[in-house]
Amino acid sequence: MYLPILQIQSEDIPEYAIVCGDPRRAEVISRKLENARELAFAREYRTFVGDYQGVRLAVVSHGVGSPGAAICFEELIRAGAKTLIRVGTAGSYSAQTPAGSLIVSTAAVRADGLTRSIVPDGFPAVADSRIVEALDASARELGGVVGRGITVTVDAFFEGALDIPHKTYKKAGAIGVEMEIAALYVVASLRGARAGAILAVDGYADADLAAEYDPHTDAVAQAVEREIEAALRAVAKLAEQDAKASAE
Ligand code: R1X
């Protein structure tokens, strides 16, 4: 089957996929794979396949924001991807996870518009628990600060005339904010796939903590390196679990 937006053939897509916003980051991740091959680069969607510790996986960029990212997730799942892990960046709500930390997202607040148009209000956006465990364990193996909890998915990167209620989300227990995870979790749930996400904190989204936003620091670059490694190790762990389960 031809996937018209990603511009790839479904036969080329394996069960495991790492997704990220930035096409350049997809290329960086692909360099960590053996037998890496670029399949397509269409709009913001750049697709590679390769092997990590003997596990075949796809690495695909989904761009910024839920509507565009959802197209990527839908097509990947249609192509046969069953496990999708987002590697991204986020703003933090907590002094316990400053810039340079990692966050494993257990669920997402659906403060986006896309998921409202595909599932009813109140429908949860939740990560797969085995992916959460695999990401958390892999991130902790690598050291550094690792937070774990609920993240918020918004549509607006820059605030307009209306306030984005970051304080309310924080009060309710969310630990960070980004722009695509709700779409990933909801699309995965709708289409029978499993998903999870790990995020490198690139600044504070809470006005009380916020300094000037600079996502281009060494601490953030190192956190991105760690989250990539953690996601790859998580894929290897999950593939091992899956192989054991299917042998039983
Ligand atoms: O998810 C957010 C978005 O894709 C995080 O970073 C991007 C905006 O800079």
Ligand 1 atom with the smallest distance to the CA of 178 is 1
> What are the extents of the domains in the chain?
2-247
CATH number, span 2-247:
3.40.50.1580
Give catalytic residues, as residue numbers. Answer: 202
**Per-residue pLDDT at 213:** 86
pLDDT at 211 over 90: no
The string of pLDDT tens digits covering residues 100-141 is 999 999 999 999 999 999 999 999 999 999 999 999 999 999
Distance from Cα 178 to the centre of ligand 1, integer Å: 6
**Per-residue pLDDT at 168:** 97
Do residues 14 and 56 lie in contact, with contact meaning Cβ atoms separated by under 8 Å? yes
Q: Which residues have C-beta within 8 Å of that of residue 155, sequence separation ≥ 6?
A: 65, 66, 111, 112, 113, 114, 179
Measured CA to CA, the distance from residue 49 to residue 36 in angstroms comes to: 6
Do residues 47 and 29 lie in contact, with contact meaning Cβ atoms separated by under 8 Å? no
Ligand 1 atom with the smallest distance to the CA of 153 is 1
**DSSP code string of 37-98:** EEEEEETTEEEEEEEETTEEEEEEE--SSHHHHHHHHHHHHHHT--EEEEEEEEEES-TTS-
Per DSSP bridges, beta strands 83-92 and 8-9 are unpaired
Residues framing ligand 1 (Cβ under 6 A): 21, 64, 88-90, 157, 178-180
Ligand 1 atom with the smallest distance to the CA of 179 is 1
For the four alpha carbons of 24, 43, 47 and 180, in that order, the dihedral sign comes to: positive
Structure tokens at 136: 């958390």
**Per-residue pLDDT at 23:** 98
pLDDT at 170 over 90: yes
**Per-residue pLDDT at 114:** 98
Structure tokens at 108: 């997402």
Query: Alpha carbon 174 to chain centroid distance?
Result: 16
How many separate helices (H) and strands (E) can be counted in the chain? 6, 12
Q: What is the value of ipTM here, to two decimals?
A: 0.91
CA-nearest residue, atom 4 of ligand 1: 64
Choose among 182, 180, 189: nearest CA to 107: 182
pLDDT at 209 over 90: no
Distance from Cα 1 to the centre of ligand 1, integer Å: 30
CA-nearest residue, atom 8 of ligand 1: 64
**3-state SS assignment for residue 129:** helix
pLDDT at 176 over 80: yes
**Per-residue pLDDT at 208:** 78
